[in-house]
């Protein structure tokens, strides 16, 4: 189906007829192929890339990449980043490119977490892995000369939700709270009926029909425990959450639930910086050279610098 009925900005037109194939039978192959791209992530004259292994539940282990600007020094800040992909796809090339922007731009380490994916590992595996990675970072902060008062969480799409869930988990378990959370066109609810969810059932990159497929793969049994770990909008309270940056795309079915989450946070007294980009689609920052994307990346980096400065207690 052609998606040219939407006035998408020319910078993103090349993606106007693209939606990832979401089929259970082929996902394992796609996951393996996409994940193999991680091997291309190596150190440069500006960034050191370190492979780390993190113990999670039941003796299992996950991998992560730690990006560190050369000469960053001691007691440095860190962003723990959770990639998007509908809870079923690994980090893609544009995730690596964005992390390579955030790290030197905000003068911080970035831990890019390779959490386990549905459908083989459905909810609540991803939130548990992501929280375990956050706790691992906090407990190993001294080893990497990281200041635990200046650790932020962030993510895009599904990863945006996981960032918020990690903050909720940290609050619920009296763990060191993130100093900020960066949420890019995030999933914030489950089964949320919004105008954008009803309107955008054929938009590129992600639409409401895609969301239903992702949800079916991710949530495979009735949720036991805290509903907000699968749907942050359902949290009874958002008090105590860290300062938050939320960015949404105009032609994205997730647009309105991102805005709703921003409003809920503000009502709870949380500092929120909210931006709705224009002419954009879900995953629009795949076009890194676009002036629109450049402006967004600058805003994200400024937010990170601000929360890192506010968390500096030295």
Question: Which of 252, 256, 285, 290 is the catalytic position?
Answer: 252
State how far the Cα of 203 lies from the Cα of 259, in Å rounded to an integer. 18
312 catalytic per annotation? no
Q: Tokens representing 30? A: 């796609």
Q: Which of 81, 97, 224, 96 is nearest to 162 (CA)?
A: 81
Residue that is written with structure tokens 């999933």 in the block:
187
Catalytic residue among 83, 95, 114, 157: 157
Q: Which two tokens stand for residue 270?
A: 């949380």
Per annotation, catalytic residue among 210, 282, 285, 290: 282
252 part of the active site: yes
The answer to whether residue 290 is catalytic is no
Contacts of 139 (CB under 8 A, 6+ apart): none
Q: How many CB atoms lie within 10 A of CB 39?
A: 8
N-term to C-term CA, the chain? 56
Strand-strand pairing, 244-251 and 272-281: parallel
Cβ–Cβ under 8 Å, residues 221 and 215:
no
Smallest CA-to-CA distance from 48 within 109, 138, 117, 122 is with: 109
DSSP sequence for 223-280: --S-GGGT-GGG-S--TTPPPEEEEEEEE-TTHHHHHHHHHHHHHTT--EEEEEEEEE
Q: Are 217 and 88 in contact (CB under 8 A)?
A: yes
Which amino acids are annotated catalytic?
A: 157, 252, 282
């Amino acid at each position: 189906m052609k998606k040219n009925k939407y006035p998408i900005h020319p910078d993103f037109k090349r993606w106007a007829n693209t939606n990832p194939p979401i089929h259970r039978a082929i996902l394992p192959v796609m996951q393996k192929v996409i994940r193999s791209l991680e091997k291309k992530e190596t150190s440069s004259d500006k960034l050191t890339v370190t492979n780390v292994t993190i113990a999670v539940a039941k003796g299992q282990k996950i991998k992560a990449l730690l990006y560190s600007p050369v000469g960053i020094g001691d007691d440095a800040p860190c962003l723990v980043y959770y990639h998007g992909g509908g809870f079923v796809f690994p980090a893609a090339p544009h995730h690596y490119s964005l992390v390579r922007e955030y790290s030197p731009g905000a003068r911080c380490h970035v831990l890019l977490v390779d959490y386990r994916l549905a459908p083989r590992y459905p909810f609540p595996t991803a939130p548990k892995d992501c929280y375990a990675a956050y706790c691992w970072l906090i407990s190993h902060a001294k080893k990497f000369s990281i200041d635990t008062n200046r650790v932020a969480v962030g993510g895009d799409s599904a990863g945006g939700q996981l960032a918020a869930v990690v903050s909720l988990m940290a609050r619920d378990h009296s763990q060191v709270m993130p100093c900020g959370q960066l949420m890019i066109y995030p999933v914030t609810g489950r089964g949320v009926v919004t105008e954008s969810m009803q309107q955008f059932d054929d938009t590129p990159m992600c639409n409401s029909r895609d969301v239903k497929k992702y949800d079916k793969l991710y949530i495979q049994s009735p949720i036991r425990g805290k509903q907000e770990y699968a749907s942050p909008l359902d949290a009874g309270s958002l008090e105590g959450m860290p300062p938050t940056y939320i960015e949404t795309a105009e032609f994205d079915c997730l647009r309105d639930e991102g805005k709703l989450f921003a409003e809920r946070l503000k009502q709870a007294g949380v500092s929120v910086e909210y931006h709705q980009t224009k002419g954009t689609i879900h995953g629009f920052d795949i076009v890194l050279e676009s002036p629109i994307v450049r402006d967004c990346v600058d805003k994200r980096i400024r937010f990170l610098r601000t929360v890192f400065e506010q968390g500096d207690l030295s």
